[in-house]
Amino acid sequence: MAKTAIVTGGSSGIGRAVAIELLRRGVDVTIADIAGAESTARELGCSGARVDVTDAAAVEDLVGGLKADRGRLDFMFNNAGIAVAGRTDELTLDHWNRMLDVNLRGVVHGVQAAYPIMVEQGFGYIVNTASLAGLIPVPLMLPYTTTKYAVVGLSLALRVEAAAHGVKVSAICPGFVDTPLLDHTNPGLPQTEIGRLARTIGVRVQKRLYPADAVARDVIRGLERGQALIVVPSFARRAWSLVRLSPALSVHATRQATRRALP
């Protein structure tokens, strides 16, 4: 029987690239997204479902339905997410609440739906998409940074608890990736100058945006090695190392990088 996987946010970016890598390995993939899931699934030759991850019941129905149909759930990729960027004094509670709903509660909903099934069957892998912004100080996008730190903490703590049940947990922590996320910051919310410049800032900070397909390959390798945190590319690993070596120095370096990146 083929292994099965659900990839939320799978119609574009990292989610789509991960789905492609899983399909290449013979995994039975279901793409879930708030838009474009069915068309992407037809293109890739897999299953697709329109699901809003902020709707806990919808996520539970998706996960439970796949388990009932396929008899197993091997991978749950909680990847759906949005970006909110702007100076903190110009962001509103709407920015914060939307970010918490999608990037944090969306992951919680996926975990709540998939984890009991995996515990019962005695195997499975939960993979949560966090960010380098969940490991280092990242200004000008505090709601995003807050949720990503939370996803890293959730993943590491659950990893310890889940091991006793044969369930694995990892978090993906990429730096700036060349995905539509950078072009659609603050979706459905008041746009900010920082939001409009997200892609430009990313290029200035990292020099080159990392391709989504490269992230997907790194993710699969990281899962095969059982890495707790999959931090890519090399720029991200260097930045993370600096935080662990000297938090104060990392704050200074981030301040300098931010000044250089802003127009």
Active site amino acids: 144
Backbone φ and ψ for 242, nearest 5 degrees, come out as: -65, -40
Question: What are the φ/ψ torsions at residue 42 (nearest 5 degrees)?
Answer: -65, -40
Tokens coding 82: 């949005």
Contact indicator for 31, 19 with CB cutoff of 8 Å: yes
Residue 213 CB-half CA count within 13 A: 2
Cβ 6 vs Cβ 30: under 8 Å = yes
Angle at which helices 234-245 and 247-261 cross, to 10°: 140
d(CA 193, CA 2): 47
- Pair of tokens at residue 88: 């903190």
